[in-house]
Chain A
Amino acid sequence: MSYVTKSPWVIHYDGSSCNGCDIEVLACLTPMYDVERFGIINTGNPKHADVFLVTGSVNEQNKEVVKQIYSQMPEPKVVVAIGICANNGGIFKECYNILGGVDTVIPVDVYVPGCAARPEAIIDGVVKGLGVLQEKRNAMDGNTAAPAPAEKEEA
């Protein structure tokens, strides 16, 4: 069971973001922030992923893609909405082609604010997501009494 928290794999999809949050997500994986030392790996395959990082808001064209990726991920899974656009539409909220935050199409567990969200904030969001992941795992096993492991605060 502990393997989930030890090496969570993330999948990243760019909803309709400006790239700012996307390159910050990528920056998290590179030597300056290097989340790989905690076993976090970016995968392109939804079926391998535990954590879904979405940047940018949803529109008519991409909402099916977001839903599809979400439905292909195995349970338990966590969705982290990164950046203010993914939270509620942000600066583009009034645009005609924006439906709103990611939570209009799939359930979101952790909201990371910022425009663009800083790598520190993204890592913090993912670490929070890991706690949620463990809770979901426990609930699936019917073992709600087991405490969630302490978050890796040193992250």
Chain B
Amino acid sequence: MGKRTIIPFGPQHPVLPEPVHLDLVLEDEVVVEAIPSIGFIHRGLEKLVEKKEYTEMVYVIERICGICSFGHGWGYCASVEGAMDVEIPERAEYLRTIWHELSRLHSHMLWLGLLADAFAFDSLFMHCWKLRETILDIFEKTTGGRVIFSVCKVGGLRKDIDNETLKEIVDTLKGLKKEIKELTDVFITDTSVKNRLCGVGVLSKQDAIDLSATGPVARGSGLVQDLRLNGPGVYHKLNFEPVVEEGGDCYARCKVRIGEVFQSIDLIEQAVSQIPDGPIDVPVKGNVKGEFAVRLEQPRGEAFYYAKGADSKFLERMRVRTPTNMNIPALVKMLQGCDLADVPILILTIDPCISCTER
């Protein structure tokens, strides 16, 4: 047994866009234990429900995270609507689903780029982000914002997408599909990429269950777990199967996300072909009385939203639990026994979103 060394990793590190700190206990080059510590970007925004009215709070909740901001807005609105017994129009549900899938698309493209950056394949990183800009252009055209949209409100949506624009979006995505295919083929077939990903950071199916892994991490370990099957939205009217891989290594998790990129494009096409005409919001009046919880499949996994009213303009409690929070135990497990040089890739394959985790 070699001498043990502790290497601090982060909070400021070239591979991390966000601050997270890990103490890596090493024996020679092998990690024997990883001790995470978080808290660098805790803001305490759940407590803001006491200061912001429930209709204003959606702006704060959207800013939990700039990557999956639409999903957070949706989860919050759905939980408040549930507590108030508000039924939103069908067109709004469809549009929320479309925007949510676009978010997943951009989030996964962003992640593929960061992964390429982590194994130092810079041109691949640049290409991923170049294609992602096309999706951001769609966001900008339909919502006015590139990363924070503020289109969700309690009772529906603030903005409609007319049917012509919806068709344009589908056409754009069809063109994009071919380019993404070329790119993702590199991730799947390139030898040097496979050398870095295959067999690295294996998380067995049993470990994934025991450690409550969620999202692509769980699906990469063979768990069929996708909340789109029974969560909010119109997913029950669309035809899709969760993308599941058996390997449990970084390669499997990468393949799951690549599968979901194409799945999202397909889901958007299906939703656009079915979308009914009609209003996009219903008037919401009065105070929130009841309580309600919503589970939503975010790009990174299951997110949980709980709202409890106090019969006033302010909620009594708002609780969000985000997917990265659930994947950190899995990450710690994966890190045990890996090489020091693989640590950045392993951290990235859970697609960490620290600002979600800490809020």
- Contact check: which of B125, B133, B148 meets A20 at CB < 8 Å? B148
Instruction: Provide the A32-64 mask, 1 if CB < 8 A to any CB of B, else 0.
Output: 100000000001111000000000110101100
Whether the pair A116, B40 counts as a contact (CB closer than 8 A) is no
- Contact check: which of B13, B43, B113, B133 meets A59 at CB < 8 Å? B43
Q: In the complex, A115 Cα to B59 Cα: how many Å?
A: 11
Residues of B within 8 A of A62 (CB): 11, 19, 40-41
Report whether over half of chain A's contact residues are helix, strand or loop; otherwise say mixed.
loop
Instruction: Provide the A71-94 mask, 1 if CB < 8 A to any CB of B, else 0.
Output: 000000000000000000001101
* A residues in contact (CB < 8 Å) with B: 12-24, 26-27, 30-32, 43-46, 56-57, 59, 61-62, 65, 69, 91-92, 94-98, 115-116, 118
B253 at the interface (CB under 8 A from A): no
Whether the pair B45, A92 counts as a contact (CB closer than 8 A) is yes
Whether the pair A116, B148 counts as a contact (CB closer than 8 A) is yes
- Contact check: which of A17, A26, A95 meets B45 at CB < 8 Å? A95
- Min CB distance A22 to B, Å, is 5
Interface residues of B in 45-87 (CB under 8 A from A): 45, 47-48, 51, 59-60, 63-67, 69
- Min CB distance B312 to A, Å, is 18
* B residues in contact (CB < 8 Å) with A: 11-15, 17-19, 39-45, 47-48, 51, 59-60, 63-67, 69, 110, 113, 125-127, 129-130, 133, 136, 145-148, 353, 355
Across chains A and B, the number of contacting residue pairs, with CB separation under 8 Å, is: 123
Whether the pair B40, A16 counts as a contact (CB closer than 8 A) is yes
Q: In the complex, A66 Cα to B146 Cα: how many Å?
A: 27
- Contact check: which of B40, B133, B146 meets A61 at CB < 8 Å? B40
Report whether over half of chain B's contact residues are helix, strand or loop; otherwise say mixed.
loop
Whether the pair A43, B47 counts as a contact (CB closer than 8 A) is no
Q: In the complex, A19 Cα to B354 Cα: how many Å?
A: 9
Of residues B17, B51, B64, which shows the largest number of chain A Cβ atoms within 10 Å of its Cβ?
Answer: B17
Q: In the complex, A91 Cα to B39 Cα: how many Å?
A: 19
- Contact check: which of A65, A91, A92, A115 meets B12 at CB < 8 Å? A65
Q: In the complex, A21 Cα to B41 Cα: how many Å?
A: 14
- Min CB distance B313 to A, Å, is 16
Residues of A within 8 A of B13 (CB): 44
Whether the pair A16, B148 counts as a contact (CB closer than 8 A) is no
- Contact check: which of A15, A43, A94, A96 meets B14 at CB < 8 Å? A43
